[in-house]
Copies of this chain bind each other. A is one copy, B any other.
């Protein structure tokens, strides 16, 4: 029996996760869900961020479904580093998978792209780079203050994520991987990425490749996002590029992600790219599509390909039949998509 750990988190996190669970109820019959109360609320109430005992419990599950973590009342970094990034690192979720598609029925801010034309996936490294947490501050608050951040990169970490990107590209129609870095300035890390990319690509003669600097890629994601198939990139660059990719495909409200441990040594974690959105929390207006699609990625990861496809198709159908400007409630969308998944799975 599949055991899912659920971390609803803060703000709209709880609202959208509830919808994703409805979908799982019909797509993954008989799974067990264990809720973990983590995030700003718990932090304020108990001072706890992520007790080690909870890490151990989470580790016993097949996968984790997360809503959103964070609130302006908590100093920046506390929950991000102490909870979200800690889980990504502790559970060795080195593939941060972020697909972006422009679905029929959704509106891109770009004038010249039509639904169906954008279909890319960013394979963002999840356990290295500037996210390693190396750095420090001296003379804080004085005019002599200095602060450093160190990007740590290994051949080991670079190679495994690049290999994953090639594997995914091989399974896609266009079979193309774009490596994105900033080799002309970050010559050390960039050199490592570039060499590793070249080495790994030799094992995939059927996959076409190119390389772009991150600034150029940020631009091309706006001017010709249709050109991308798979993008593989470093942790921070992936953070930025996936928000652009989300923006051009109808917004962060639709963007799903998986923090995947492909070796399955620990559970993978699935979460919408959006945050807790305190401004709209509690109003029942958050679009649960990103959370539902994240549940779809979870199903795919656990080997339930048919159920995953049903979720994708149901969401696509739901988006396609929305009328422009229409504002549906979180619950209503969740119910509609759930019904459709049930229908598709027969």
What residues of chain A have their CB less than 8 Å away from a CB belonging to chain B?
70, 76-77, 80-81, 85, 108-112, 130-131, 135-137, 139-156, 159, 182-192, 194-195, 214-216, 218-219, 222-223, 236, 239-244, 246-248, 251-252
13 A–B pairs (Cβ distance < 8 Å), ordered by A: A77-B183, A77-B184, A135-B188, A137-B188, A141-B195, A148-B152, A149-B151, A149-B153, A151-B151, A182-B239, A185-B236, A215-B239, A218-B218
Counted per complex, copies of this chain come to: 2
Is A155 a contact partner of B137 (Cβ separation < 8 A)?
no
Bound-state CA distance A236–B244 (Å) is: 16
Is B187 a contact partner of A76 (Cβ separation < 8 A)?
yes
Given contacts A109-B223, A148-B151, A155-B143, contact A188 B240 (CB under 8 A): no
Is B130 a contact partner of A142 (Cβ separation < 8 A)?
no
- Chain B residues with Cβ under 8 A from A156's Cβ? 143
Bound-state CA distance A136–B108 (Å) is: 41
Is A77 a contact partner of B110 (Cβ separation < 8 A)?
no
Bound-state CA distance A106–B11 (Å) is: 41
Q: Taking the nearest CB of chain B, how far is it from the CB of A222, in angstroms?
A: 4
Given contacts A188-B135, A190-B76, contact A252 B154 (CB under 8 A): no
Q: Taking the nearest CB of chain B, how far is it from the CB of A335, in angstroms?
A: 28
